Structure 1
């Protein structure tokens, strides 16, 4: 009976919020009210509200963002990775030059099970400060499908991979990112102008688009003198 009551409450919240969204009471693109406020207004616990919001996200009525998430910073400035790091670094005012190291079609049969494709476009880029110091090395893989297979020939739009992917119908919606500290191999050390074994931050970010398609995996080696991971938590006072 208790489980049935909880289910009924969740469904009531789902129905009410769907009504508000479809009637325009909750405008598209604007954030929902704070969870505490919304739960109190609807007369349910936050737990019930969260279950209802998860259902709405599954049905694509809303897109939830997890509060207190981790972000990457450059010299203390937050990088908005949704716009691509080329633009994000430019927005910080940093004088960063991006070098193209590799842009070609490759085959990776061992990745077929993971991503549903075995042919990829590989894009390797190195970023340098104005004094010539390399601060990052990024290796991106995109599926060689839906027109992306032509990218090595036609190039990127505005030198931005994010803008280019969007132009081909790939707009990121979900994914994950792992960040840790690892020593550079001889190959990475050579490309970054550092001694082998130098510890850098390593980030592995995988992104899927609005249709659930794999769109990019990027492995980044980041100079810890400039890049940091920042995490906020709790409720601001």
Structure 2
């Protein structure tokens, strides 16, 4: 922010933004509750909410409504706002991410598995056609696997994001850094979403990618996220090794 700070909430926004950007408060870390911040700055909780809304709009934080689902790796929480590569590193877990494919596809041709299968009935039922907030006719598909040691793959992820801005050039340029960072540079900041989790046996292709036997049991997660104005941000389908990953649900969380 630039220029003189005159309003109470702007003083809070500037102070918290400085702490986040300097690393004093790690990006994606949970801030104190509204009541604690109100006491710290000597303002009302309404003023704090206004400041947090500005930080959320700037992509520095993501506010939560008191409930949600969070992926755990070996019992340690992974904050999706950071991207899993950074979140795992923050937990002291060394991983290597291998990008398998980056492709530009028409959303009407994608089936629920993220492939160009040509089976229109499956596309309509489980693909991206008709997903709220997705205005771009094309999407970029990114497939990745994560390894915690050589030859030890713990997850396979397939992300679909709108083919807008610099994201449309990813198939030609490649993914430098994390996909979360690329989304932020494109002005796409997740605000809310939904996640589904089930278990299933992996097929032959997935088994080859995960270096497991066909029919092995994996956690299957689908997360879809939108911006505050309802714009589609990302759908990511993941296969997670249940020996390392689990899902934690919270509800009725207090803000103070």
TM-score, reference length from structure 1: 0.71
Question: 1:11 maps to what in 2?
Answer: none
Question: 2:99 maps to what in 1?
Answer: 100
Would you say 1:222 and 2:240 are equivalent positions?
yes
Question: 1:200 maps to what in 2?
Answer: 218
**Aligned counterpart for 2:139 among listed residues 98, 112, 120:** 120
Write out aligned runs for 1:25-40 (5 A).
Answer: 27-28=12-13, 31-33=33-35
List runs of 5+ in structure 1 lacking aligned partners. Answer: 1-21, 35-51
| Matched-pair contact (CA < 8 Å) for 2:106–2:137 | yes
Counterpart Cα distance in 1 of 2:10 and 2:236: 39
Counterpart Cα distance in 2 of 1:182 and 1:150: 34
Residues 146 and 212 (structure 1), Cα distance of their counterparts in 2 relative to 1, 3 Å cut: farther
Q: Which has the higher contact order (CA 8 A, sep 6+)?
A: 2
Residue by residue over 1:171-226, the C-alpha shift from the partner in whole angstroms, topping out at 9 and shown as x without a partner, is 11111111121111222112111122211111101111244211111000000000
| Matched-pair contact (CA < 8 Å) for 2:63–2:191 | no
Runs of 4+ more than 4 Å apart:
25-30, 60-64, 232-236
Q: State the superposition RMSD in angstroms.
A: 3.0
Question: 2:69 maps to what in 1?
Answer: 70
Number of aligned residue pairs: 195
Deviation at 1:70, TM superposition (A): 2.5
Counterpart Cα distance in 1 of 2:74 and 2:159: 23
Deviation at 1:233, TM superposition (A): 5.4
Q: Name the larger-Rg structure.
A: 1
